[in-house]
Amino acid sequence: MGSSSSPEIPPYKADFLKAAIDGGVLKFGSFELKSKRISPYFFNAGDFYRADLLRAISTAYAKTILETESSSAPLEFDILFGPAYKGIVLASGTADKLAELAPQKYGKICYSFDRKEAKDHGEGGNIVGAPLKGKRILIVDDVVTAGTAKREAIDKIRKEGGIVVGILVALDRMEKLPSPDGDDTKPMPSAIGEIRKEYGIPVLSILTLDDIIGGLKGRGSEEDIKRLEEYRAKYKASD
C-alpha cells in the first residue's frame, strides 16, 4: 500500500488501514470464522501490541471521536470504558491520545475497565478506574462479532449506575448474523445493527468493510479487492 492520502476515505482512516496492513493486523487470504464462513480477510486487534501500532490505533479511535464533533450527533461522554481484556489497552490508549489531540476538552478525560472476576479483597468490586455512577460512558473495543460481550459490558456498566451513550469499535464488518436455520441467503441484520436497535445507542467504527475496499483500490491486489466485494455482496447485512 502506498501513500496514506486516499481519495476514497479520510486520511486518518487511510493511515489506520495502512498501519493495520503493514503491521499484519489486517490480513488477506482465506480464513474460517466462528460462524464457519470463509472470509477473504481477517482483522485481529490483539496484534496491535507494538508501540507504533498501539499509537496508530489509539490515534484512529481518538480521531473518530473528534470527527463526530462536527456531525449532527457528537459523542458526549465522561468516561471511556474498555471491556477486559483487549478493551483495557484500547480505552487507556485512546484517553491518552484524546488528551494530546484536544487537551482543552479531553485533558482530564477518565477511563475504566472491568475485571473478569470480582475482587473480594482490598478495594473489591468489578470495576477498575474511574467510578461509573451517574457518568456517561463510551465503550471502546475491537469488534462486534455476535454482540454478547458488548451486552455483558452494558449490563455491568448499568449495574454500576453508569449511562452507556455509545460504542466505538475498530472495524464494522457490515456482515449479517447467521440465520438460525443456517440459510445464509435470508436477509439478516448485523450484530452492530442489533445492538443499535436493542439499546438505542450509536455504534461507531474506525473502518467499515466499505472503507477497506475503497482504501485498497489502486493500491491493493485486484484479486483481494474482487474477493472482498464478492464477500460483501454475499453476506451484507440488511440493516
111: left (phi over 0), alpha (psi -120 to 50) or beta: beta
- What H or E segment, with its residue span, contains residue 82? strand 79-82
Backbone dihedral angles phi then psi of residue 218, each to the nearest 5 degrees: 85, -5
Angle between helices 86-101 and 51-68 (to 10 degrees): 60
Backbone dihedral angles phi then psi of residue 228, each to the nearest 5 degrees: -65, -40
Other C-beta atoms lying within 10 Å of the C-beta of residue 183:
9
Annotated catalytic residue 121: yes
- Give the DSSP letter string of 82-149: E-TTHHHHHHHHHHHHHHHH-HHHHTT-EEEEEEEEEE-STT-EEEEES--TT-EEEEEEEE-SSSHH
Residue type, 21: I
The dihedral sign for the CA sequence 9, 10, 11, 15: negative
**Catalytic-role residue among 34, 36, 116, 121:** 121
CA atoms of 37 and 225, how far apart (whole Å): 18
CA atoms of 134 and 151, how far apart (whole Å): 19
**Catalytic-role residue among 119, 186, 217, 234:** 119
Q: Indicate which residues carry an active-site annotation.
A: 119, 121
